[in-house]
Amino acid sequence: MIIDGSRKVNQLTKWLLLSSVFLLTDSAQTGSPVTSEAGRAVDADENQSSPPPPGLLNVTKGKKPSLQPKPSPPLLGIYSVRNPEDGNICLKAVLGVEFMVTVNKKFYYFNMNPLATRATGYCGNTSAVLSLEFDGGYLEFHFVKEAKAYYTRRLSALLEPAPVCKKCKTQPFPGTQDNKKLFKTTAGLSFKCKSELVVKMASDLRLKIVPAQFQPFNLSNGQFGKDFECWEDYIRRIVPIILGAIAVGVALIAVVSYLVIREYRNRGYESL
């Protein structure tokens, strides 16, 4: 009896082992999700960072910016400055920035990478500064607030890229727009522009900012105020409306002229 019982136990054990192997094999083939200790399903690629889009990330930490022979859409970066007293956001900007430089009468391009850019600055009652620094350059906004408006009084930039060829020398590209009233906006609103803003900083340096939205004063809970439409966007929006109205007006004039002429001819025939 003991031997028979042990045989039954051995057979039962073998059956359980075979069943476990079958279940494990079936689970692997069906691709069941792996569950973490917290019970959340985790995708296998969830923690893997996807490669950056080609042509956009032109800067590597510790290396000089690499100029590109063709332009490409810049990455959109969200930058902010906090008040050291209460920790609240007092200045906020959403920008895509492309540097355009001239080397031997030829344009080269560099897109500022938000992932490798450090935002610093300060906020005051009537003045504020946003400095965007990266390895090989920077872009700095100096804002001034008046009674009913604010604007960028000084815009400065520097790009120190790697040479475009082996025999070319390293050349810095500094530029400044000073004592200006750039991007003037009504106080309490956020300047916003979807169109390209091109600012000539020097004879061999231009900045292309697209899109742009910023507000250096009077933020509410770190959020932008109502949008202040830039002149370029206003022109793009209003010109089609004006052209459409002109086309409708011309069509109406043509129709009225035709009716008047036809009526005049009919009266002429009746008099005869």
CATH of the domain at 133: 2.40.160.110
pLDDT-based confidence at residue 1 (cuts at 50, 70, 90): very low
Q: pTM for the complete prediction?
A: 0.68
Mean pLDDT for the stretch of residues 170-174: 95
The answer to whether position 218 is within a domain reads yes
**Contact between residue 143 and residue 153 where contact means Cβ atoms under 8 Å apart:** yes
The answer to whether position 123 is within a domain reads yes
The answer to whether position 26 is within a domain reads no
CB count in 10 Å sphere of residue 70 = 8
Domain that holds residue 222: 77-233
* Number of independent structural domains in the chain: 1
List, for residues 119-132, the tens digit of each pLDDT value.
999 999 999 999 99
Residue 193, pLDDT > 90, answer yes
Task: Report which of 200, 218, 199, 221 is spatially closest to residue 209, judged by C-alpha positions.
Answer: 199
The amino acid sitting at 213 is Q
The answer to whether position 15 is within a domain reads no
